[in-house]
Structure 1
Amino acid sequence: MAVLNPSKYMELLPIEVRKMLTRVIETLNHSFDGIWMPEKLMNATYHYIRNRGKLIRPTLTLLVAYALGNGSSFEKSILPAASVELIHIASLLQDDIMDEQRIRRGVQTPYSLFGSHTTMLASDLIIAKAVELAVKSGDNDIVFELLNSSVKLAVGQNLEMELGGKDHVTLDDYLKLIYYKTASLIESSMIVGAYSVGVKDGDVIRKIRDVGRFVGLAFQIRDDLIDYLNIDVKNPTLVDDEVNIVKILSRNNGDINASINTARKLLNEMLDNAIDVIKTTINSDVLVNYINLLRI
């Protein structure tokens, strides 16, 4: 089990997708150009734009657009991809406040550096900018998809707070939580990629939604395994009241190793399901190989 370097994700991307991802990064870097704000607020707002992760969500947007557009121009996917990443960043800021998280990705969080009030306002600014970029895409389906995903993220944050520290959390509770908290945005990332190249067929969209849901659930299960085993030295260890699949599975029998294996099996089953749907809908080897990087 390993934490992959972001370059491993980049190596699998076609040159056209890499170029578009560079333009997404440029869009993010200039998101707040011309807007005056106090230095602390500016630094909090740009913190995760500058200290970015693997950009998995916008990359999925671009990969779906690339595959469904048959490799032709997919410039219209740039703004939706940037909007997706901004929504994710806003959720990180809110998560930092709620969890009193002081370290993320090996650096101090905005919550730690600037306090909860400034961090909260930064998340508001970022959400507003995400909506602006979605509107500028010129496609109402993209706007409503991302707005709906933002609603689900808020529900997921609250559900995590409700379930945290409780000893009766079931696997079904967990799967519902991680759908709202994580998978919903990954699902929407792929949907807006399809919309951006003009794919509106209901059956195709439903299948892509299934792919996104499976990938999103697998992604969070993988993160939980990594957190539980403290593999990622850049992030702190699991906190006592965190809702984690290994804790849930091992609660009754105390068998940690068996629970880890069960969680790993569920993760890989989710990825198998996603790939089965991809092969009948998108038929993209690049997307399949990219998703396979999540395997443990």
Structure 2
Amino acid sequence: MNIVEQIKQPILNEMELFEKKFHKSMASKVALLNRITYYIVNRKGKQMRPMFVFLTAKMVAGEVNERTYRGASVIELIHTATLVHDDVVDDSNKRRGFFSLNALWKNKIAVLVGDYLLSKGLLLSIDNNDFDLLKIISVAVREMSEGELLQIEKARRLDITEEVYYEIIRQKTATLIAACCSLGAASVLPEHSEYIENMRKFGELIGMAFQIKDDLFDYTDGPIGKPTGIDIKEQKMTLPLIYALNHSDKKEKRWLINSVKNHNKDKKRVREVIDFVKQKEGLVYAEHKMIEFQKEALQLLQPFPNSSYKEALILMVNYVIERKK
């Protein structure tokens, strides 16, 4: 049994029922839409986000309810919508090894499908008066958009400080995982604001560690989730690079910024940048910060009684920083 299956074990029944409900939540009277959503459902990833929702709900209350299923569906609908739109923005032809929607059905249809999924998610909450859950999700969507735009703005000047970097990854990546965990708690214990906030913070910390792990993949050779040096080619300022930049003299700084700005398509130069960042211990520093976020997240679970759900969440935190892709 692999680690993802182990994490899923305590909520297998919930996940099976969720899949049926999620598929149903996408249904449309338009045959083309149904064909496209069928394609999406059959190429799903690890489904980490709904797993966070169910494990959190079970850990804090020992049960889930219809609100939990709706919350997990809304998160997955809106997350899928953002991925579809991202592929259009990035002009990406592949998603998880399969053709993206825009590659198969072109940009116009992909954008419309993304809009459709977004509206289905919003209506699922509104029709059931889940306004507290809708607020959690809406804040996450706003922050994700702000994070993407902040990154684009900073990439033009390459003037990202470590603090700005943390804000970008908090908004871009961590906010959605934070929403999953706070939503899980809010679905079963709507009156317990301290539990909801505790789990929001827990999800945020995992999200921060997750993104730093992704940054580290950029400097790793081997069968990983993305090609080595892709962030440098896309002029993304990641934590190892920021650390190296902050610990360089003026001449090194000029060379590094010039390399990322003007020579990011040159394979030899990208390899030199990777070697330079390693030499400056950028990877060591990023790993240290990632482990700090991991430990802080685990501390937030301590007050909860031991259970298979708590164990699965601990396993999830460790998986985030130990995964190979």
Scaled by the length of structure 2, the TM-score of the pair is 0.80
Correspondence 1:193 to 2:191: no
Question: Aligned partners of 1:47 and 1:231: how far apart in 2?
Answer: 30
Root-mean-square deviation (Å): 2.4
Question: Aligned partners of 2:108 and 2:157: how far apart in 1?
Answer: 28
Equivalent position SS for 1:251: helix
Correspondence 1:18 to 2:40: no
Correspondence 1:32 to 2:31: no
Deviations 1:169-189 (A, max 9, x none): 122121111111111111111
User: Which amino acid in the other structure matches residue 261 of structure 1?
Assistant: V
User: Which amino acid in the other structure matches residue 239 of structure 2?
Assistant: I
Equivalent position SS for 2:123: helix
Aligned residues: 287
- Counterpart residue number, 1:9: 4
Question: Aligned partners of 1:46 and 1:224: how far apart in 2?
Answer: 32
Question: Aligned partners of 1:132 and 1:192: how far apart in 2?
Answer: 17
Correspondence 1:213 to 2:204: yes
Q: Structure 1 pair 152/172, CA: closer, same or farther in 2 (3 Å)?
A: same
- Counterpart residue number, 1:62: 54
Deviation at 1:75, TM superposition (A): 4.3
Q: Structure 1 pair 256/59, CA: closer, same or farther in 2 (3 Å)?
A: same
Higher helix residue share = 2
Correspondence 1:132 to 2:123: yes
Deviations 1:130-166 (A, max 9, x none): 1122235543211111122111122122223222353
Q: Which runs of 5+ in 2 are unaligned?
A: 249-275
Equivalent position SS for 2:8: coil
- Counterpart residue number, 2:298: 275
- Counterpart residue number, 1:263: 286
Deviations 1:72-110 (A, max 9, x none): 354431111111111111121222122222222112222
User: Which amino acid in the other structure matches residue 171 of structure 1?
Assistant: E
- Counterpart residue number, 2:318: 292
2:93, 2:100 within 8 Å by CA — same for their partners in 1?
Answer: yes
Q: Which runs of 5+ in 1 are unaligned?
A: none
Deviation at 1:23, TM superposition (A): 1.7
Question: Aligned partners of 1:234 and 1:48: how far apart in 2?
Answer: 20
Equivalent position SS for 2:157: coil
Deviation at 1:233, TM superposition (A): 4.8
- Counterpart residue number, 1:53: 45
Instruction: Tell which structure's C-alpha radius of gyration is larger.
Output: 2
User: Which amino acid in the other structure matches residue 302 of structure 2?
Assistant: K
User: Which amino acid in the other structure matches residue 22 of structure 1?
Assistant: E
User: Which amino acid in the other structure matches residue 293 of structure 1?
Assistant: Y
Q: Structure 1 pair 121/174, CA: closer, same or farther in 2 (3 Å)?
A: same
Determine what percentage of the aligned residue pairs are the same residue. Answer: 24
Question: Aligned partners of 2:105 and 2:188: how far apart in 1?
Answer: 40
- Counterpart residue number, 1:85: 76
Q: Structure 1 pair 219/136, CA: closer, same or farther in 2 (3 Å)?
A: farther
- Counterpart residue number, 1:94: 85
Question: Aligned partners of 1:157 and 1:46: how far apart in 2?
Answer: 28
